[in-house]
Every structure is written in C-alpha cells, then in structure tokens.
C-alpha cells in the first residue's frame, strides 16, 4: 500500500483507541468504514458507518467487502469472565480474519496488548519474541488473538500486524504509565506504519511511546517504519508517588485478586 490508504475498515470504532484512529485516518483514506455495536454518525463524506456485532460472521464478512485493510480494535477491553473474552475477543477476531480471507483484504491490523506479557519482571526489557506470560484472562485472550493472526498468515497468506498496545491515554495518570504510556500521536504513528509497511506476512510489535522507563524493545516498531516521539517522563513530577515499586510489569493487574473477581 502507498500513501493513499484506499478503503480501511475500523472495528470498535466507538472505543477510545477506535475514536482516535478514526479521527487520524479520516483525511488519509478514500473510504473509512466504521464498525461498532453501538450506533455511530458519519462525520465526513469519506466515512461510512455500520452497526455490526463482530460475533456475526456473515455480517462481518459483508462489511469487509472492498476493503484494502482492516484495523481490528473491537472486543472486550479488559479483565472479564473467560466466556465473555472468548466470545468477544477470540471469536470476534476469528470472524474478522475469516472475513478478510474471504474478501481478499490486503492487510489486517490486530489490536493485541502489553498485558500478554505482564508477568515478566519490571526490571527486564523484553521483545515480542519471548514467550507469552499473560497477567490474567484478558491477556490469555490476546495470546489467542495473536495465534489466530499467525495461523491466517501462515496458512492462508494474509498480511497480519499485531500491535501490543500500551497504556493509551492523553497523558499518564499513574506511575506505571511512565513505562507503559502510549500517546495518541504515537498510537496513530504505529497504526499508519502497520497499514503501509511493505512486505509483511506476520509481525508483532509493542506499540508504546519512547518512555525512558519502558519495559519493551522498540526495534521491531522502528523496522516497521515508525519511531515514537513522546516520553512519559515529562509527566513524572505531577504523578502521585508509589509506596513500593512493582515487581512485575503489569503491577496490580498481575495480582490474584484482579482475576478472582471474574471467576
């Protein structure tokens, strides 16, 4: 794909990341197809909105007709009972990938998560090549999302990019974000690179800003074509102090209590 992104479908377009991606891509595409379970209004001539449940395979496939790329952001956004995560994240992702295969879509961008490796020590810098160590059931669902992406790339030849999204916020709001923050500007930079990088069969990268205290290696993102520019360190003086430094990258998300309430 070149600088003209053609027709791009965004799932989960009403969500926080989806809304930012929608605004960022609106002027860069011929057609922006926005999918969500809630009703949306078109805000420009290039936008087309559709109310679609990602669990409806036929509706998803129909919505991907004519698409050059899909940015798949829809699903359950955090810890939840496993049946809900399997339904919303795993089945929904399968339907998007299968729809993309059937419609001949050129590139699929899957929203993965830093929570897929949340049990690694906070003292360790890691790459996407290391084995998953999910911090909860949500992280487990993202392991399955990436596995589905790899399967469809290897078996059916889809071009798939998995973005392990950091803590997407306008500005850091807690001290863990000094390592994990993903600014809106850098988020859009990663998405654009994931949509336009040539010669990709399958890759996984950490989508995180250039934080001084980050846990994750940026080399794969740079190879994809984007180097982040923002650093959470600029916000450090205004953040509340922590009594103890977390031992694990996910901090409280890795606690037993965080998941037990969903069992």
Catalytic sites, residue numbers? 138
- Please provide the DSSP assignment of 179-231 as one string: HHEE-HHHHHHHHHHHHH-SS-SEEEEEE----TT-SB--HHHHHHT------
Containing 92, the helix (H) or strand (E) segment is helix 92-103
Quote the tokens at residue 200.
Answer: 């990709």
Distance CA 111, CA 146 (A): 9
Helix 137-156 vs helix 92-103: crossing angle, to nearest 10: 20
Q: Nearest to residue 188, comparing CAs of 4, 7, 17?
A: 17
Containing H/E element for 112? strand 107-113
Q: Which two tokens stand for residue 151?
A: 């399967």
Contacts with 260 (C-beta within 8 Å, 6 or more apart), sequence order: none
Closest CA to 146 of 159, 126, 160, 125: 160
Question: What is the C-alpha separation between 166 and 23, in angstroms, rounded?
Answer: 19
């Amino acid at each position: 794909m070149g600088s003209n992104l053609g027709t791009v479908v965004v799932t989960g377009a009403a969500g926080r990341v989806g809304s930012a991606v929608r605004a960022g891509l609106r002027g860069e595409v011929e057609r922006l197809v926005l999918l969500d379970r809630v009703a949306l209004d078109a805000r420009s001539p290039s936008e087309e909105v559709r109310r679609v449940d990602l669990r409806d395979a036929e509706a998803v496939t129909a919505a991907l007709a004519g698409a050059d790329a899909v940015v798949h952001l829809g699903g359950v956004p955090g810890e939840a009972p496993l049946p809900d995560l399997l339904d919303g994240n795993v089945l929904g992702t399968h339907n998007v990938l299968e729809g993309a295969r059937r419609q001949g879509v050129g590139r699929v961008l899957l929203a993965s998560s830093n929570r897929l490796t949340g049990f690694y020590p906070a003292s360790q810098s890691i790459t996407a090549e290391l084995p998953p160590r999910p911090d909860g059931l949500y992280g487990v669902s993202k392991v399955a999302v990436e596995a589905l992406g790899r399967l469809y790339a290897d078996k059916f030849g889809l071009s798939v990019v998995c973005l392990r999204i950091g803590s997407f916020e306008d500005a850091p709001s807690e001290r863990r974000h000094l390592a994990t923050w993903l600014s809106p500007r850098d988020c859009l930079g990663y998405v654009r690179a994931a949509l336009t990088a040539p010669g990709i069969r399958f890759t996984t990268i950490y989508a995180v800003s250039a934080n001084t205290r980050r846990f994750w290696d940026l080399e794969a993102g740079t190879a994809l074509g984007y180097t982040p520019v923002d650093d959470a360190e600029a916000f450090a003086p205004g953040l509340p102090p922590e009594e103890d430094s977390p031992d694990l990258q996910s901090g409280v998300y890795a606690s037993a209590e965080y998941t037990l309430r969903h069992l």
